[in-house]
Amino acid sequence: MDEQQSLQGNVLFHPSFVTPHDFPAFLRAVVCRVVSGSMLMSGIFTALCALTTTQFDISRASCAISTSVNLVAFYHYAKLIAIREQTGSRVRLSKPGAVPMGQATELKIGWLDMAADAVRYSDWLVSPAPEQQRPRVSDSL
Amino acid sequence: MHLLLADAVQPIDPVWFGIPWAIVLTCVMILLGAYTRFGTDELVPIRKDQRDSTVDGFARLTGLIAYTLACVCLLLILYNLLGNLQGADDPTNGWSFAFSLPWIGYGIVSLVAMATRQLVPDGYPEWLSVLKDLSYGVLDVWSKAFFGCWIGAKALGLTDPMSAL
């Protein structure tokens, strides 16, 4: 029954997959929380700058772009925190019934890191996209 | 960054291409890196009894080529962005170097991860995972959060006070 429930979604959260690590999970999550908080503070600051600056065009656009980049990073780091705490990532098994029982700890860490890097790469891939919204320099002259 | 250099006291044009091609090249670079990371699992050797197989060799060769091309893309982006900065008397240029050159750090971390996986092919070393968390975290805070604060301060006229003298 327990195994059937695990197949509904979060395999990494399955008791057989959550393992004690050399580095405590909360310490690993703290690193991501610090980065996440930095992104949020920077996003709020640049948003306020975009709203209050008297320099229009490029400065305001740069602040707005930076706000979006920081908030996207904040969202992705929230995902990373969930992965590091092993409470929120979602990996579906390709073969029903193949609950990851008895795997080596290193292999489980490998899967967790694969999920973490998937979040990172999606963040990097999304981040350049807002740059397409930047006004051309010739437009502001 | 392209936009900030164009808006500097002494505007700097990129060497070869503008923002659209820079974005395309950045996306290509990330996708090539993603292939190396996910397609070949950081070039890690597969099971001992299959390490000499054609599939393993093909995967690792293409992964290595993809990583090399991603590095070339990064160098092209950086040179295109910073190549014309020499001799320009604007503090913004110094900050541009400071915020752009650390991008190389992402490639170095990937390289360290790949080299480690060659030496420890079975499983994933936890210390490597921690190292990646720390190093990517520092790089992200610098190149996104600090960069954002600098952009905000610049928009408010709080940076480069010497340039106003």
- State the CB neighbour count (10 A cutoff) for residue B139: 18
Write down the number of H helices and E strands in chain B: 7, 0
C-alpha distances (whole Å) from B142 to each of B63, B76, B116, B145, B147 are 29, 22, 25, 6, 6
For residue B99, give the 3-state DSSP assignment: helix
Q: Confirm whether A1 is domain-assigned.
A: no
* ipTM value for the complex: 0.83
Partner B contacted by A90 (CB < 8 A) = no
- The token pair that represents A36 in the structure block: 């996440």
- Residue B36's nearest CA partner among B71, B72, B66, B61 is B66
* pLDDT, tens only, A77-135: 999 998 888 765 555 555 555 555 555 666 677 878 888 999 999 999 887 655 444 43
Spatial separation of the C-alpha atoms in residues A103 and A48, rounded to whole Å: 49
Q: Confirm whether A6 is domain-assigned.
A: no
Mutate to test the interface with B, among A48, A57, A117, A119 (most CBs of B within 10 A): A117
Number of separate domains in chain A? 1
Q: Confirm whether A17 is domain-assigned.
A: no
Q: Confirm whether A18 is domain-assigned.
A: no
Spatial separation of the C-alpha atoms in residues A83 and B92, rounded to whole Å: 38
C-alpha distances (whole Å) from A61 to each of A20, A110, A132, B77 are 46, 40, 11, 22
Q: Confirm whether A52 is domain-assigned.
A: yes
* pLDDT, tens only, A1-40: 444 444 445 555 555 555 556 777 788 889 999 999 999 9
* pLDDT, tens only, B114-149: 999 888 877 788 889 899 999 999 999 999 999 999
The secondary structure of residue B158, as a DSSP letter, is -
Cβ of B156 within 8 Å of Cβ of A53? The answer is yes
For residue B139, give the 3-state DSSP assignment: helix
Partner B contacted by A101 (CB < 8 A) = no
Cβ of B146 within 8 Å of Cβ of A42? The answer is yes
Q: Which domain holds residue A48?
A: 23-92+102-134
* pLDDT, tens only, B16-69: 877 888 889 999 999 999 999 998 888 887 766 666 677 778 888 999 999 999
C-alpha distances (whole Å) from B57 to each of A93, B60, B65, B119 are 27, 5, 12, 17
- State the CB neighbour count (10 A cutoff) for residue A103: 15
The structure's pTM equals 0.80
